[in-house]
């Protein structure tokens, strides 16, 4: 009988802040997997419509990872016949995944991890009935997070971001998009992006940095938001691009934040500096999306309010609609984005946590999936696709991330459940037992 060592070579915490090299780790074999969700599919581009349900499950599966890459995927029987494996068994770390589910590590494609404090006063005010906009105009909201980030030494921000990345990994996330956006001065936005970079280099997973200088108009630019947009376009974006601190530029396009015309200016500046774009759209009010499509945005996020004609447009483009139900849940809203309308029309849909101190203080992708199932009528299979391969598409990383296929990065999550539908079903406790990030094993205990 093929017996496996239950390897616990790396703990999630405490991990010293140091560079981690995937090529330095032992080859890894996950075997006897109850359900292996490979997410392989014949469809090209981000998954839409019925392709969102294609999980391509192998029972009694196995995955072999070498030097941070997946090298073979199949049944355990196939793995045991593999010539390289039979002659190198003593060099391989093995994990027995009997009775468990293995799926691609989650791709959390929308997070705001660079903040210092939770916003507990806002939390209480909201419970007493104040709206998001009322809290913002009373001095709470995004602006109330700025001072602490501006004052914080970079090292403190690195620790905050790294702690969030580790918690995410403990819940199965292996790739994280991470935005700046709580500094809103040139110096503090660059410091926030540098904190993301430093945290990423001490974490075995993959972080994708986004400049969100256009998050809100800071107090010192009140009544002259156009001047602030000029600062974003002529100083922040060029510096972030030149210093390779960001891959994307994001804008909060909504009432109380930035107008469609300011959003176009930011997109144009990003494009001129070689950076890709994404935007918060339709969270509080509807914005016509079609004029922005010429910038080929990687994603439009939130999408609570969107017109029928824009949904039809999205069905014809690769811009992903990224839904963040954690924000609706935490804001106590009755309404959630209409995922069914988007999916049934053929628009590509991703799920993300929107981890942030104001609207969605959760790092848990299983929680986002659970909300997607119960509040947005997405099936568990659609939720998993939206949290893996479609998240990867929205970060332009689908060639490396989001499915379990030979040649892709070894990013895997192991859950102590027999059936993948249990991942969104058992909401609350964490059932992720192991996470493999670029070939490096982190176990939850």
Residues that bind Fe ion (CB under 5 A): 354
Query: If contact means CB under 5 to 8 A according to the sort of partner, which of Fe ion, ligand NIG, none does residue 191 touch?
Result: none
Site for ligand NIG in 304-343 (CB under 6 A): 327
The correct pick among 356, 362, 390, 433 for binding ligand NIG (CB under 6 A) is 356
Taking the complex as a whole, the smallest distance from the CB of residue 142 to ligand NIG amounts, in Å, to 4
Considering only residues 68, 104, 105, 141, which one is a binding residue for ligand NIG as defined by CB under 6 A?
Answer: 141
Helix residue ranges, H only, 51-129? 76-81, 83-88, 120-127
Which residue spans within 89-184 are E strands per DSSP?
93-96, 101-104, 106-108, 173-179
Element housing 280 (H / E): strand 276-281
Q: Which is nearer to ligand NIG, 27 or 113 (CB)?
A: 113
Stretch that binds ligand NIG, among 183-191, 201-209, 313-321, 357-365 (CB under 6 A): 357-365
Q: How far is CA 141 from CA 76, 129, 263, 358, 426, in A?
A: 51, 15, 21, 6, 32
142 belongs to the binding site for ligand NIG (CB under 6 A)? yes
Is there a contact between 103 and 414 (Cβ–Cβ < 8 Å)? no
| Residue 36, number of CB atoms within 10 A of its CB | 27
Please pick, from the candidates 205, 213, 358, 366, the single residue that binds ligand NIG as defined by CB under 6 A: 358
Strands 206-214 and 248-253: parallel
* Nearest residue (CB) to ligand NIG, 113 versus 380: 113
> By CB under 6 A, how many residues form the interface with ligand NIG?
13
Minimum CB distance to Fe ion smaller for 112 or for 166: 112
Sequence-ordered list of residues with C-beta below 8 angstroms from that of 210, at least 6 positions apart, any chain: 177, 178, 179, 180, 246, 247, 248, 249, 250, 278
Q: Which is nearer to Fe ion, 198 or 354 (CB)?
A: 354
The window from 43-51, 66-74, 242-250, 356-364 that contacts ligand NIG (CB under 6 A) reads 356-364
Task: Tell me the residue number closest to Fe ion, measured at CB.
Answer: 354
CB 12 within 8 A of CB 432: no
By CB under 6 A, residue 113 contacts ligand NIG: no
Q: Which stretch binds ligand NIG (CB under 6 A): 43-51, 78-86, 355-363, 379-387?
A: 355-363
Residue nearest to ligand NIG as judged by C-beta position? 358
> Measured from the CB atom, is 174 or 356 closer to Fe ion?
356
What is the bridge-based pairing of β-strands 57-66 and 299-302? unpaired
CA 353/CA 393 separation, integer angstroms? 16
If one asks whether residue 357 binds ligand NIG (CB under 6 A), the answer comes out as yes
Cis, bond preceding 33 (omega within 30 deg of 0): no
Among 177, 304, 310, 354, binds ligand NIG (CB under 6 A): 354
Between residues 111 and 403, which has the closer beta carbon with respect to ligand NIG?
A: 111
- The secondary structure of 419-434 as a DSSP string is STTHHHHS-SS--EEE
The site partner of 283 among ligand NIG, Fe ion, none (C-beta below 5 to 8 Å per kind) is ligand NIG
Q: Which of residues 256-285 bind ligand NIG (CB under 6 A)?
A: 280, 283
Asked whether position 359 contacts ligand NIG by CB under 6 A, the answer is: yes
Q: What share of the chain is helix, strand, coil (3-state, %, to 5)?
A: 40, 20, 40
Toward ligand NIG, which CB reaches closer, 359 or 388?
359
Q: How far is CA 364 from CA 3, 69, 100, 360, in A?
A: 32, 25, 19, 10
Nearer to ligand NIG, 101 or 327 (CB): 327
Using CB under 6 A as the binding rule, whether residue 403 contacts ligand NIG is answered as: no
What is the rounded CA–CA span in Å between residue 113 and residue 73? 34
Q: Is 23 helix (H, G, I), strand (E, B) or coil?
A: helix
- Least distance (Å) between residue 366 CB and ligand NIG: 20
Chain residues that interact with ligand NIG, rule: CB under 6 A: 112, 141-142, 145, 252, 280, 283, 327, 354, 356-359
């Amino acid at each position: 009988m093929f017996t496996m060592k239950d390897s616990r070579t790396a703990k999630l915490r405490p991990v010293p802040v140091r560079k981690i090299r995937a090529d330095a780790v032992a080859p890894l074999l996950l075997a006897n997997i109850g359900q292996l969700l490979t997410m392989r599919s014949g469809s090209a581009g981000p998954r839409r419509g019925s392709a969102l349900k294609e999980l391509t499950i192998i029972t009694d599966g196995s995955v072999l990872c070498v030097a941070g890459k997946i090298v073979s995927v199949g049944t355990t029987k196939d793995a045991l016949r593999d010539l390289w494996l039979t002659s190198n068994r003593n060099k391989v770390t093995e994990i027995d995944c009997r009775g468990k589910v293995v799926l691609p590590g989650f791709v959390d494609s929308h997070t705001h991890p660079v903040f210092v404090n939770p916003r507990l006063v806002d939390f209480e005010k909201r419970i007493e009935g104040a709206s998001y906009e009322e809290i913002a105009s009373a001095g709470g909201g995004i602006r109330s997070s700025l001072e602490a980030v501006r004052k914080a030494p970079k090292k403190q921000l690195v620790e905050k971001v790294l702690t969030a990345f580790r918690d995410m990994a403990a819940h199965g996330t292996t790739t994280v998009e991470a935005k700046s956006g709580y500094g809103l001065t040139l110096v503090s936005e660059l410091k926030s992006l540098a904190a993301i970079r430093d945290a990423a280099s001490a974490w075995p997973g993959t972080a994708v940095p986004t400049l969100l200088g256009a998050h809100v108009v800071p107090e010192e630019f009140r009544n002259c938001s156009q001047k602030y947009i000029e600062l974003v376009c002529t100083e922040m974006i060029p510096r972030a691009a030149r210093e390779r601190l960001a891959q994307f530029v994001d804008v909060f396009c909504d009432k109380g934040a930035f107008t469609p015309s300011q959003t176009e200016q930011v997109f144009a500046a990003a494009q001129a500096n070689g950076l890709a774009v994404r935007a918060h759209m339709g969270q509080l009010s509807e914005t016509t999306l079609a004029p922005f499509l010429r910038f080929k945005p990687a994603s439009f996020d939130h999408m609570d309010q969107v017109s029928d004609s824009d949904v039809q447009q999205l069905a014809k483009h690769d811009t992903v609609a990224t839904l963040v139900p954690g924000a609706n849940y935490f804001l106590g809203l009755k309404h959630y984005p209409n995922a069914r309308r988007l999916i049934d029309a053929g628009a590509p849909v991703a799920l993300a946590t929107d981890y942030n101190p104001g609207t969605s203080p959760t790092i848990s992708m299983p929680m986002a999936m659970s909300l997607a199932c119960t509040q947005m009528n997405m099936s568990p299979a659609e939720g998993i696709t939206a949290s893996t391969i479609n998240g990867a598409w929205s970060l332009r990383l689908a060639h490396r991330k989001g499915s379990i296929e030979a040649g892709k990065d070894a990013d895997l999550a192991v859950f102590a459940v027999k059936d993948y539908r249990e991942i969104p079903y058992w909401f609350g406790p964490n059932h992720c037992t192991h996470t493999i990030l670029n070939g490096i094993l982190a176990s939850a205990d």
